[in-house]
């Protein structure tokens, strides 16, 4: 903030909160590689930092920006999205109950199932966006976390954050929203009642597929937040200052990249929806998507870079199309400037809930006409 007005999020991001290094007046934020900080003769830490596993000024720059963009009360960076998510779950006591959706980031769902199999947590998995199923699963007083992901990876299922938050809070549970696909450009879950937001910052927040990072943002600095701050430092799930700096640099262009790829994704989804070689398209921007009305209400400025479709001809056709695309890189992950395709079920392996013929696309910032031509050519018989 400066003067008597509040800058818009685009300005905050572009200027990295307007931070200028005090000693040199450097406009580009500095990288602080130091792992340690000097004490004063009286033993105090006049710089406010002790050791880099606890805190580092380079993390704090990216955390402050993400916190402002999400409208939070605090943010913490982690060494990966998984490190962020698992640190949240590690705050639970043995036997605490968790509700998670059918469609969510697969590795995290597997990890939760492994925890449940070992008796660490009780777990219920419910269909995304099904309030009645969620309410039936909630165990008042025992359910501690309702995990949601919206839009969800890989099928872009939508969850009504406000509706889930109301039900979860009545049962005494906290709502944690994985908002990786939305980014704060398109949706701010805390405004809809979520208690924590989690990101794989590896994806569109950084946006250049060259950093592994995660983040948690809180609605309030309560006991759970203090526990997360403590646990990140004790468990050491931090990232390096160079990665934190790259993440901040990536976030400065967030408001150019996110709307651009969302606009392209909408055009591509529309084209695929009317393509004779395609039997099903999943993109919340399409009015035919079951979550479209909710997405239109709780997202603004677009529906994200993630879409999935099922070509006619089953798993073999999906494999062929993924291999035939030239501009879409056949690679995992999402949210970079380059477009990606992934035949998802074989990646997830036995037990996956993903249809065998589903192709996941992550839309980058290339010329959309090129991407459309690449898809048309690859889908041709
Ligand atoms: N959440 C979502 C929606 C993801 O897509 C991913 C990774 O693909 C993760 C979390 C995990 O993040 P990371 O790979 O940074 O650990």
Instruction: Assign residue 339 the CATH number of its domain.
Output: 3.90.1150.10
H or E stretch including 216? strand 214-218
Whether residue 228 sits in one domain with residue 100: yes
Looking at the domain assignment, is residue 2 inside a domain? Answer: no
Q: What is the pLDDT of residue 140?
A: 98
Give pTM, 2 decimals: 0.97
The number of domains in the chain is 2
Query: What range does the domain containing 336 cover?
Result: 254-379
The verdict on 182 and 274 lying in the same domain is: no
- How close is the Cα of 200 to the center of ligand 1, in Å? 5
C-alpha 163 to ligand 1 mean position (Å): 24
Q: How many helices (H) and strands (E) does the chain have?
A: 14, 12
Which residues, in sequence order, are CB contacts of 111 under 8 Å at separation 6+? 82, 86
In angstroms, rounded to a whole number, what is the distance separating the alpha carbons of residues 214 and 218?
14
Same domain, 181 and 240: yes
Residue 4 covered by a domain: no
> Does residue 83 form part of some domain?
yes
The pLDDT value given to residue 163:
98
β-strand pairing of 196-200 with 74-78:
unpaired
- Do 266 and 304 belong to one domain? yes
Low-confidence ranges of the chain (pLDDT < 50): 1-3
The confidence score (pLDDT) of residue 2 equals 45
Given this model, what pLDDT does residue 351 score? 86
pLDDT 10s digits, 5-39: 689 999 999 999 998 888 899 999 999 999 999 99
Whether residues 347 and 227 share a domain: the answer is no
Q: Pick from 251, 283, 316: which residue ends a domain?
A: 251
Contacts of 188 (CB under 8 A, 6+ apart): 69, 70, 71, 197
140 shares its domain with 175: yes
Q: Looking at the structure, tell me whether residues 241 and 259 fall in a common domain.
A: no
Residue 99's pLDDT is 99
237: nearest Cα among 52, 29, 61, 35: 52
**Would you say residue 281 lies in a domain?**
yes
Give 312 Cα–ligand 1 centroid separation in angstroms: 29
* 1 located within any domain: no
Q: Which of 128, 153, 213, 246 is the pocket-test mutation for ligand 1 (most atoms within 8 Å of CB)? A: 153
Of 228, 251, 274, the residue at which a domain comes to its end is 251
The residue among 235, 251, 267 that closes a domain is 251
pLDDT in tens, 215-274: 999 999 999 999 999 999 999 999 999 999 999 999 999 999 999 999 999 999 999 999
Q: Helical H runs in the chain?
A: 9-14, 57-70, 81-89, 106-117, 131-137, 161-170, 183-186, 223-235, 241-251, 254-273, 292-298, 314-324, 344-348, 368-379
Q: Do 286 and 341 sit in the same domain of this protein? A: yes
Burial of 72 (0-12, 13-18, 19+ CB in 10 A): buried
Please tell me whether residues 247 and 262 are part of one structural domain.
no
- In short, whether 212's Cβ falls inside 6 Å of ligand 1 is yes
pLDDT at 22: 86
Residue 21: per-residue pLDDT: 86
**Residues paired with 101 in a beta bridge:** 126
């Amino acid at each position: 903030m400066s003067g008597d007005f509040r800058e818009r999020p685009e300005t905050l991001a572009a200027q990295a909160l307007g931070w200028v290094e005090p000693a040199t007046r450097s406009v580009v934020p500095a990288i602080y590689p130091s792992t340690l900080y000097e004490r004063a003769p009286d033993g105090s830490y006049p710089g406010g930092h002790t050791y880099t596993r606890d805190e580092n000024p380079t993390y704090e720059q990216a955390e402050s920006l993400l916190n402002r963009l999400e409208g939070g009360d605090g943010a913490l960076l982690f060494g990966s999205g998984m490190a962020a998510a698992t640190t949240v779950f590690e705050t639970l006591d043995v036997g605490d109950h968790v509700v998670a959706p059918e469609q969510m980031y697969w590795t995290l769902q597997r990890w939760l199932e492994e925890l449940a199999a070992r008796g660490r947590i009780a777990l219920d998995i419910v269909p995304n966006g099904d309030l009645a199923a969620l309410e039936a699963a909630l165990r008042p007083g025992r359910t501690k976390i309702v995990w949601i992901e919206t839009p969800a990876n890989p099928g872009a299922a939508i969850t009504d954050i406000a509706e889930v938050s109301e039900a979860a809070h009545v049962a005494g549970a906290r709502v944690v929203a994985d908002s990786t696909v939305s980014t704060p450009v398109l949706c701010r879950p805390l405004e809809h009642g979520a208690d924590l937001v989690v990101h794989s910052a590896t994806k569109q927040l950084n946006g250049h597929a060259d950093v592994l990072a995660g983040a948690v943002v809180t609605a309030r600095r309560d006991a759970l937040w203090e526990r997360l701050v403590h646990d990140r430092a004790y468990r050491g799930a931090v990232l390096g200052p160079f990665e934190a700096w790259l993440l901040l640099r990536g976030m400065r262009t967030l408001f150019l990249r996110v709307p651009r790829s969302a606009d392209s994704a909408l055009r591509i989804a529309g084209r695929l929806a009317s393509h004779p070689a395609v039997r099903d398209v999943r993109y919340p921007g399409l009015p035919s998507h079951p979550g479209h009305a909710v997405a239109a209400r709780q997202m603004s400025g677009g529906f994200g870079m993630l879409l999935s479709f099922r070509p006619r001809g089953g798993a073999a056709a999906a494999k062929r199309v993924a291999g035939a695309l030239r501009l879409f890189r056949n690679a995992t992950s999402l949210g970079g400037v380059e477009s990606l395709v992934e035949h998802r079920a074989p990646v997830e392996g036995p037990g996956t809930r993903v249809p065998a013929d589903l192709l996941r696309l992550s839309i980058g910032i290339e010329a959309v006409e090129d991407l459309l031509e690449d898809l048309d050519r690859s889908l041709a018989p």
